[in-house]
C-alpha cells in the first residue's frame, strides 16, 4: 500500500469507525438494565438551563454515553480478554479465575467493621435475646478456599474469626463453619453457596443447636444461571444450573412476609421460580433482599422456634431448617432496623437464635441496622 493510499485509508477508517459506532449507539433502542452487571443503565439526561448550568447534564451525559454504547457487553468482554490473555493480568478489578471458579479477592480485613459487627450482636442480645439459646456463625467467602492456594492476595481468616469471637458476648455460642464447607460448595460464577451442597453446614448447626434433619430432598434445577461474578468478570464463561431443594415440610410450610409498604404480614412462599428472571436469580430463595419472613411448620420434628438473623446465604439455608422448627422468623438486618423488631418479631424465652453472616457483610458491617 502506497503512502497516499494509506493516508486515505487511515483517515476514512478513523472517521468511519467513530461515526458508525456513534450512529449505532444513538439509533439503537436504549437498554433499561444490564443483566450481566446487575444494574440499571443511565438514560439520556434531561436538558434544561438548570442541568446545563449546574453541570448535572454533562455528568449524566458522560454516564449515558458509557452505558448506552452499542455492544457494551461485547466491549466489556473485549477488555476482560485483553486484560487476562494479552496483558496477562491476574485479576480484573479484583475478579479472578481459579480452579474453574470466579471470585473477587480482598486483602484487608476491616478490623473496625468486624469488631463493630460483634458489638451489634451484643446490642441485639441485650435488647431482645437474653434467656434464649443464641448461636452465631461466620460463612466464609469462597476466597477462603481459593485465594491463597492459587497465589491471590488473601486475608487471615483466623484473625477474622478472632476479631468477632473476642468481641461477642460469651452468652452467645460460636459455631465455626470453616471446616464444613469446601470450594465446590459454592457456585462457580456466584458469591453464594449451593443449597444442595450445604448438608454438612446444616449437620454442624444441628449438632450444636440440637436438631437433626432428614436429608431426603427433591432436587429442582433452573438454568441458565449466571452468577454475580459472571457479569463482573465479563469473560465468556459457561452458565450454570441453579438448584433448590424441597421436601414435604418445605412444601407444606406456611410462609408470611412483611410487606414493607403496608407493614403487615402477607402470605408468601419459600421459592418462587419467577424470581429466577430477576437481576439476581438467587432471589429464587426467599425472594431475595427482604426484611422479614415467618415460616410455620405445624408438622415440625420439634416444638422449637428459631429466629434467624441472616443475609442472602441464609435465604437458602433457612428452608433446610423448616422440618426441625415449628416456627422460623427470618430477619435481614440490612433491611429492617433493630428498634422495629419488637413490633414484628415474637421474642420468647427458650427460643433458638442463630446469627449467621458471610465474611463480606461482617467486613462491611455498617450495612447492619442495629441501633
Which residues lie near other proteins (CB under 8 A)? 1-11, 13-15, 17-19, 21-22, 25, 53, 55, 58, 61-62, 65-66, 69, 72, 75-76, 78-80, 82, 86-91, 107-108, 151-153, 234
Give min distance, CB of 192 to other proteins, in A: 24
- Apex CA 321: angle with CA 317 and CA 322, to 5°? 120
Give min distance, CB of 69 to other proteins, in A: 6
Give min distance, CB of 120 to other proteins, in A: 24
DSSP 284: G
Task: Output the nine-digit C-alpha cell for 234.
Answer: 465479563
Closer residue to other proteins (CB): 24 or 371: 24
Closer residue to other proteins (CB): 75 or 347: 75
Give min distance, CB of 224 to other proteins, in A: 23
Q: CA–CA separation, 42 vs 64, rounded Å?
A: 5
Closer residue to other proteins (CB): 71 or 350: 71
Give min distance, CB of 281 to other proteins, in A: 23
Q: CA–CA separation, 209 vs 202, rounded Å?
A: 10
Beta strand extents in the chain (DSSP E only): 33-34, 39-40, 95-98, 101-104, 133-139, 173-176, 218-225, 240-246, 254-258, 265-268, 292-296, 305-310, 327-331, 352-358
Q: CA–CA separation, 191 vs 193, rounded Å?
A: 7
- In angstroms, the Cα distances linking 84 to 26, 126, 191, 228, 240 are 30, 50, 21, 19, 22
Closer residue to other proteins (CB): 18 or 219: 18
Q: CA–CA separation, 1 vs 156, rounded Å?
A: 60
Closer residue to other proteins (CB): 108 or 262: 108
Closer residue to other proteins (CB): 73 or 161: 73
Give min distance, CB of 238 to other proteins, in A: 21
Amino acid at each position: 500500500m502506497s503512502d497516499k493510499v494509506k493516508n486515505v485509508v487511515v483517515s476514512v477508517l478513523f472517521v468511519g469507525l467513530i461515526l458508525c459506532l456513534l450512529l449505532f449507539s444513538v439509533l439503537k433502542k436504549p437498554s433499561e438494565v444490564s443483566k450481566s452487571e446487575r444494574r440499571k443503565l443511565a438514560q439520556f439526561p434531561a436538558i434544561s438551563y438548570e442541568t446545563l448550568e449546574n453541570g448535572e447534564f454533562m455528568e449524566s451525559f458522560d454516564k449515558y454515553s458509557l452505558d448506552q454504547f452499542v455492544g457494551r457487553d461485547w466491549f466489556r468482554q473485549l477488555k476482560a480478554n485483553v486484560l487476562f490473555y494479552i496483558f496477562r493480568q491476574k485479576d480484573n478489578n479484583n475478579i479472578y479465575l481459579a480452579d474453574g471458579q470466579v471470585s473477587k479477592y480482598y486483602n484487608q480485613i476491616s478490623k473496625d467493621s468486624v469488631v463493630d459487627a460483634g458489638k451489634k450482636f451484643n446490642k441485639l442480645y441485650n435488647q431482645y435475646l437474653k434467656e434464649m439459646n443464641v448461636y452465631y456463625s461466620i460463612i466464609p467467602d469462597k476466597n477462603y478456599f481459593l485465594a491463597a492456594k492459587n497465589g491471590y492476595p488473601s486475608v487471615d481468616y483466623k484473625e477474622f474469626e478472632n476479631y468477632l469471637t473476642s468481641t461477642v458476648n460469651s452468652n452467645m455460642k460460636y459455631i465455626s463453619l470453616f471446616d464444613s464447607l469446601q470450594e465446590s460448595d459454592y457456585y462457580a460464577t456466584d458469591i453464594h453457596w449451593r443449597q444442595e451442597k450445604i448438608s454438612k453446614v446444616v449437620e454442624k448447626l444441628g449438632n450444636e443447636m440440637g436438631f437433626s434433619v432428614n436429608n431426603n430432598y427433591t432436587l429442582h434445577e433452573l438454568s441458565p444461571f449466571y452468577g454475580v461474578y459472571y457479569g463482573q468478570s465479563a469473560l465468556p464463561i459457561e452458565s450454570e444450573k441453579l438448584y433448590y431443594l424441597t421436601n414435604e415440610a418445605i412444601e407444606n410450610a406456611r410462609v408470611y412476609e412483611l410487606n414493607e409498604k403496608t407493614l403487615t404480614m402477607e402470605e408468601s412462599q419459600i421459592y418462587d421460580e419467577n424470581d429466577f428472571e430477576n437481576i439476581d436469580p438467587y432471589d429464587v430463595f426467599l425472594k431475595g433482599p427482604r426484611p422479614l419472613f415467618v415460616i410455620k411448620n405445624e408438622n415440625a420434628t420439634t416444638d422449637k422456634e428459631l429466629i434467624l438473623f441472616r443475609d442472602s446465604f441464609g435465604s437458602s439455608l433457612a428452608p433446610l431448617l423448616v422440618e426441625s422448627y415449628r416456627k422460623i422468623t427470618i430477619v435481614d438486618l440490612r433491611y429492617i432496623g433493630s428498634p422495629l423488631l419488637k413490633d414484628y418479631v415474637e421474642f420468647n424465652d427458650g427460643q433458638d437464635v442463630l446469627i449467621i453472616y458471610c465474611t463480606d457483610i461482617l467486613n462491611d458491617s455498617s450495612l447492619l441496622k442495629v441501633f
